[in-house]
Amino acid sequence: MSTILSIKDLRKSYADGFEALKGVTLDIEEGEILALLGPNGAGKTTMISTICGITMPTSGQVTVGGHDILNDYRAARRMIGLVPQEIALEPFEKVINTVRLSRGLFGLGRDDARIEDILRKLSLWDKRRNAVKELSGGMKRRVLIAKALAHEPRILFLDEPTAGVDVELRKDMWEIVRELKANGVTIILTTHYIEEAEAIADRVGVINSGELLLVEDKDSLMAQMGKKHIEVMLAEPVDAIPEVLRHYDLTLNGAGESFVYSYDIHGERTGITSLLNDVAKAGLVLRDVQTRQSSLEEIFVNLVSGEQA
């Protein structure tokens, strides 16, 4: 894989002095899905806006397919499609015409077959002659995606694609993203929803207060930083954790029918064997055992709160 988007020490300060990006450096590989996670105001949208040309960078360099976004902006922008966070569409225009406009803006001639293909894939073909205002919120979001794809971009930015979208539509959106990836499109999406990143991303970047805290392969991130939890369910409930088990820092659940032991899967010893031996010594009888891995959400919360501390 080769680098398709390269960001070097990107900074953005606004006129009021607010520093929205504090030197972000990031390389994005062709064909990957990168999820940018971060709380509100972290700089996710500013980063996308700066790469796409909506805001001007204060300093730093961004190249798209080797083309500088300032000096060679036409070639750079031709490679990029942007789906903005807010639904911004001309309400009175027909769906197909707004998509045609997008293709034209990127310097491409009319191609009805291509537009039909995009609209069909996004289940918008039947609505093509409807005015945008007649569509539901979810359909409007699809129109935004259709517009972003009209010029066949190599990189697609999805800024909070599933904000305010119901669960079913969110799953549809993920399917669309996976299909795009299968067609070789590189995807960068920002999201609040950790489960979204967990479900579809190859790599995860965490951004907070204008700084990129980390970018990791999603699986290795979870493996590296994740804690595992083992829940031990007892045949007979207990009132308190027995003395012999105190040093394991267990959490007793509910009415004492189970307890949870947390361990670092990368620690030298997980402590599971000795725990289970000590459970037997304490005379407790097991009904069931279950393990659970930390979600990205926990990792994310730990990172961001660590940053703020």
Partner 1 sequence: MNWAAVVAIYRFEMARFFRTLAQSFFSPVLSTSLYFIVFGTAIGSRIETIEGVSYGAFIVPGLVMLSVVTLSISNASFGIYFPKFLGTIYELLSAPINFLEVVIGYVGAAATKALFVGLVILATATFFVDIRIEHPFAMAAFLILTCLSFSLLGFIVGIWASNFEQMSLIPQLVITPLIFLGGTFYSITMLPPIWQTITLFNPVVYLVSGFRWSFYGLADVPIFFSLLAIAAFTGICLAIIWWIFKTGWRIRS
Per CB under 8 A, residues contacting partner 1 are 14-15, 52-56, 73-78, 80, 82, 84, 86, 88-93, 97, 100-109, 147
* CA 119 – CA 258 distance, rounded (Å): 52
Residue whose CB is less far from partner 1, 119 or 222: 119
Look at the chain and count its residues: 309
Give least dist CB 113 to partner 1, A.
17
Tokens describing residue 106: 């990127």
* CA 44 – CA 207 distance, rounded (Å): 7
Give least dist CB 9 to partner 1, A.
20
Residue whose CB is less far from partner 1, 190 or 258: 190
Give least dist CB 5 to partner 1, A.
14
CA nearest to 2, candidates 219, 156, 155, 153: 155
Q: E strands, the chain, where?
A: 3-13, 19-29, 33-37, 59-64, 67-68, 80-83, 155-159, 186-191, 203-208, 211-217, 227-234, 251-253, 258-264, 286-293
Residue whose CB is less far from partner 1, 140 or 178: 140
Residue whose CB is less far from partner 1, 75 or 241: 75
Give least dist CB 138 to partner 1, A.
18
Residue whose CB is less far from partner 1, 55 or 130: 55
The DSSP output letter for 131 is: B
Give least dist CB 93 to partner 1, A.
7
